[in-house]
Amino acid sequence: MTATKSKTWKIKDIKGGITSAQGFRAGAVTAGIKASKKADCGLIISDFPCCCAGAFTTNAVRAASVDWCERLLPSKSIRAVFCNSGNANACTGKQGIADTKKIALDIAKLLDSEKEVVLVAQTGVIGHFLPMDKIGKSIPGLVNNTKKSVANSGADFARAIMTTDTKMKECSFTVSTKSGTFLIGGCTKGSGMIHPNMATMLAFITTDAKISPQNLNLVVKKTVNKTFNNLTVDGDTSTNDMVLVLANGATGVSVNQGDPLLAFEEALYKVCEVLCQKIAEDGEGATKRVEINVCKAASFEDAKKAAKAIANSNLVKTALFGNDPNWGRILCAIGYSGAIFSKENIVLRLCGTTVFKSMRPVVFDAKKLSNLMKKPVVHIDVALGTGKESAVAHTCDLTYDYIKINAEYHT
């Protein structure tokens, strides 16, 4: 992620998502899992076997689908990713395990493949058995849908995986390297129960670059640790979190070493960062997105601890909702974060205004700063004063609507 003086690659933002890269198709159907009757099952298919790596929730209570995927990855032969919303298939015991396997098997049959090339992801309410009759009946239509070459089918998939999300979330980039040009794009869902460790909720990323499963795995773990793992909406680590990255090599552009590998890493970071920002912006009840940059830390871990403690503080997040420059709550959160910092050198900035420095409060115009806090993105910048490392955390404010959504999202 360091900006070299003479970069040999170029990354350009383009419209699109998981079907931007060559050889990837997607589709969606309404199986009837959600009461809303909106699309609730999506499928990604690659024309060629994919190298695939992932990152998964660290919650000890995990959905059967998380275990299914983690056991199969990294892999070099993935063909499809199924995802349903409306039901997390978590805390459902042996029945849940059997149901996940059955879905993989049904799809694999229609692709003339083994079930081990089909990944499964799920999101929704915990502790309810999947309506397998409805899902089973919808699978042939779903596979058929992905065979049609339809524009925006990636967006259809991105919409089918939404739960309390209010916006579909996708992005994509072209990456031109000296070895050739490839595409990378992704989509994600997530709005509440967001405190990934790994990974927030679900994110699916595809690329037509060529990369080994080992390299892909390393880059994915490293990037997720810097992006999705520093994202929080409410401090609750979900049972179903996963990030899957599929590389089908359709362009023949190898990114296994040198500058192309650096380019791929930067592009993957960009995709993950944009998807994180989109989740924070669409956090349950959020009126604004918050980006916390902690720098001058002795280690990345220190910077991360401080940034995440601020991002997780209900008191900081309600103050942000109230446009209240109550910076004491930010310093308090750094204090209990466990991060090492210098009491003498710590500097705290809110929306670009310095509020604490040289061990004492700095006088500022509270009305002016409160007005700056009304913008859609609020920046909190902290220099810990102990070194050169940094980390970024993403979150949103805590509002009446978060309470409303979660007190009324009935089981």
Which residues of the shown chain bind a copy of itself in the complex (CB under 8 A)? 58-62, 88, 90-95, 125-128, 192-193, 195, 197, 234-239, 312-315, 318-319, 321-322, 324-329, 331-336, 341, 356, 359-361, 366, 398-400, 402-404, 406-411
Beta carbon of residue 237, minimum distance to a copy of itself (angstroms, whole number): 4
Name the residue nearer to a copy of itself (CB basis): 108 or 125: 125
Secondary structure class of 343 (helix, strand, coil): coil
Name the residue nearer to a copy of itself (CB basis): 179 or 237: 237
Beta carbon of residue 242, minimum distance to a copy of itself (angstroms, whole number): 15
Strand partners, 10: 176
The full length of the chain comes to 411
Beta carbon of residue 55, minimum distance to a copy of itself (angstroms, whole number): 15
Name the residue nearer to a copy of itself (CB basis): 59 or 223: 59
In the DSSP assignment, the letter for residue 362 is P
Beta carbon of residue 182, minimum distance to a copy of itself (angstroms, whole number): 36
Residue 174 a catalytic site member = no
Distance CA 100, CA 190 (A): 21
Name the residue nearer to a copy of itself (CB basis): 156 or 397: 397
Beta carbon of residue 39, minimum distance to a copy of itself (angstroms, whole number): 23
Distance CA 251, CA 261 (A): 15
* Strands of the sheet with 360-361, listed across from one edge: 360-361, 353-357, 347-350, 377-383, 289-297, 389-396
Distance CA 161, CA 122 (A): 8
Name the residue nearer to a copy of itself (CB basis): 56 or 182: 56
Name the residue nearer to a copy of itself (CB basis): 44 or 383: 383
Q: Dmax over Cα atoms in the chain, in whole Å?
A: 69
Please state the separation of Cα 297 from the chain's center in Å.
25
Q: Which residue has the tokens 């080992």?
A: 214
Distance CA 19, CA 205 (A): 9
Question: Within 13 Å and on the Cβ side, how many CA atoms surround 366?
Answer: 6
In the DSSP assignment, the letter for residue 117 is G
Name the residue nearer to a copy of itself (CB basis): 197 or 217: 197
What separation in angstroms does the CA of 403 have from each of 124, 308, 363, 397?
18, 21, 34, 12
Class of residue 379 by CB neighbours under 10 A (exposed 0-12, middle 13-18, buried 19+): middle
Instruction: Kindly give the pairing relationship between strand 180-189 and strand 169-177.
Output: antiparallel
Beta carbon of residue 57, minimum distance to a copy of itself (angstroms, whole number): 8
Beta carbon of residue 28, minimum distance to a copy of itself (angstroms, whole number): 25
Give every CB contact of residue 197 below 8 A, 6+ residues apart in sequence: 57, 58, 229, 237, 241
Distance CA 253, CA 180 (A): 6
Amino acid at site 48: F
Name the residue nearer to a copy of itself (CB basis): 148 or 343: 343
Amino acid at site 352: G
Question: Within 13 Å and on the Cβ side, how many CA atoms surround 340?
Answer: 9
Distance CA 63, CA 125 (A): 11
Identified catalytic residue from 57, 163, 200, 206: 200
Beta carbon of residue 84, minimum distance to a copy of itself (angstroms, whole number): 16
Instruction: Catalogue the active-site residues.
Output: 200
